[in-house]
Amino acid sequence: MVQVTPEPDRMLWSLWAAKEAAYKAWVRLDPTLVFSPSSFEVILDPVSAGATLRRPGHPEALVVRWSQGPDWVHAVAASGNLRVSAVVRPLSGNESAAVRSLALQALTEAGYPAGTIDGRPPVYRWEGDETPLSLSHDGPYGAVAFPSRP
């Protein structure tokens, strides 16, 4: 059954963002994973306004939630029990440096101790501990997602 939406372009954009977010989460578990968006199944949940993503032959599904602005869509994918914080803000200057600066600011605001970001995929390290990050930027916007502090 085909779902009709009043904003088909935004829906397509949202589905693509969900698949990219899921890929970023799954590739941490399997670094050999190839980005093949057509193989990712998106199951929309109208009650939560989120979705579940699955890929053939793999039991682990991810839950996706979106945030949106007038000219951007951001998706966060995580296992069902992981709480994730996400921040989207305008950037200026060098996008790569600016999104890392945004991440440091967002982590501090979320209660993480002072630390550094390094690696690919990026990791936030502090006082002998670390947490995974998702950093992205496109046009004038940058986004960061990370596990919420308990």
Per-residue pLDDT of the chain (150 residues; tens, 9 = 90+): 445 567 888 888 899 999 999 998 888 888 888 888 889 999 988 877 789 999 888 888 899 988 888 888 999 998 877 788 999 999 999 999 999 999 999 999 999 999 999 988 899 999 999 999 999 998 899 999 999 887
Q: What are phi and psi of 146, to 5 degrees?
A: -160, 160
Stretch(es) of the chain classified as CATH 3.30.310: 83-150
Contact 16, 51 (CB under 8 A): no
2-31 core/surface letters (b: 16 or more CB in 10 A; e: else): eeeeeeeeeeebbbebbbbbbbbbbeeeee
Contact 142, 102 (CB under 8 A): yes
Question: Of the CATH numbers 3.30.70, 1.10.150, 3.30.310, 3.40.50, which one belongs to the domain with range 83-150?
Answer: 3.30.310
Question: Whose CA is closest to 22, among 36, 32, 8, 7?
Answer: 36
